[in-house]
Amino acid sequence: MSLSCPALLVAAPASGQGKTTVVAALARLHTRLGRKVVVFKCGPDFLDPQIHAIACGSPCQNIDLWMSGEDDARWRLAEAAGTADLILIEGVMGLFDGEPSAAELASRLGIPILTVIDGAAMATSFGAIAFGLKHYRAGTPLTAVFANRVGSDYHAELLKKSLPDDIRWMGFMPRDDIAAMPERHLGLLPAAEIKDLSARLDRMADALAKTDAAVLPPAVDFAAASPAQIAPLLAGKTIAIARDAAFCFIYPANLECLLAMGATLAFFSPLTDSTLPECDAVWLPGGYPELHGKALATNRALWAALAKHVDSGKPLLAECGGMMALFETLVDGEGHAHWMGSLMPGTITMQKKLAALGMQEIAFDGQPPLRGHTFHYSSAKTSLAPFARAIRKQGASEGEPVYRQARLTASYLHLYFPSSPAGTASLFA
């Protein structure tokens, strides 16, 4: 049995072409037309999905042939096809970048590709780029193109005329600095920090409404699939999860996985709460502790509660920003030092250049490996010896160090819990 639903994978020749802008605008436009839109993000990402969730009014999940696996991707897409009027998938980097790439995901799953090309500084070359993307690798299901940052109607007509006959012109979005999404070092701002986000989305949707983007793409058949069976490995356990402006990098699928294992979830804010919820384990996810150093430094009661939690033998998982906040000192991007949680010895220092990027995996306690990624602009100096090291996706070299003190486990890794529920349970049990 299969489920049929219109779908597009929105890709580009490279990062920075406007994929997120176009996907968010499409989601808002079709939602305003009364359609249920479900958006997915290809690859690891926390920021773009937040924008898409606001645009369409429902959570944006991540799918990736390596991190989450093909079976997980097929199940999530089939589940969406059962209720949605339109499925949109935002690609990652350039169409053929990464292994596996967005092009491979589209080819394997039979999803047509809409490519977004920044046309600001070109004319006829626009068609050459579109042609190359479609024919670079045989079987790539690229069917349509959308131009971004176009200067005028005449400019748009030049771009349209440059296309080969086998690629459909879907329209264009004009240059619009007012609607552009604000950015900082890790990418777009979190959705909660863009105060006029809905107005920006509506402005972009208004621009798309004048194009063929309002027409639903052809339907795609998604084979019916069942979710992976997850044992209740955390039944009866309460997990306290940090969630606020400083700790906001949370995959919706991670929360779903914890619930499927029987855990009860209790959320708290290290920025404002002085105590932990009653819990059996704590998760400090990634985020932006470096932007909230002063507030985190003054909340000594919360850090004392976390230290007591760890001293009592209870688990604490700290990922990237969560780990950064547990060191003695955090030096922010302006060179200001902040007193952090002091559960781990050493100093975290922000830097201007990217320190690490890429997919990695690690096995805990003899369980199947957890997969995830690393992406950070800071470095750690500590006297702690690594408990273990992750393995890069290619398996050719060591990845991030993982630290462990009692039941505290900390690293720069952002883990995707459904990749190994048993491995996840070993961190929280």
Active site residues per annotation: 320
Residue 176 CB neighbours (<10 A) = 14
How many angstroms separate the CA atoms of 226 and 61, rounded?
Answer: 17
Q: Are the CB atoms for 270 and 299 separated by under 8 Å?
A: yes
DSSP conformation letters of 141-200 = -EEEEEEEEE--HHHHHHHHHTS-TTSEEEEEEE--TTTSPPEETTEEPPGGG-TTHHHH
The amino acid sitting at 104 is E
Cα end-to-end span (Å), the chain: 38
- Neighbour order of strands in the sheet with 398-405: 264-268, 238-242, 281-284, 316-319, 408-411, 398-405, 388-392, 356-362, 370-376, 414-416
Is residue 75 classed as helix, strand or coil in its secondary structure? helix
How many angstroms separate the CA atoms of 90 and 139, rounded?
Answer: 20
How many angstroms separate the CA atoms of 327 and 383, rounded?
Answer: 11
Residue with the two structure tokens 């990695």: 360
Residue 33 CB neighbours (<10 A) = 14
> Residue 171: phi, psi to the nearest 5?
130, -170
Tokens of 337: 């030092």
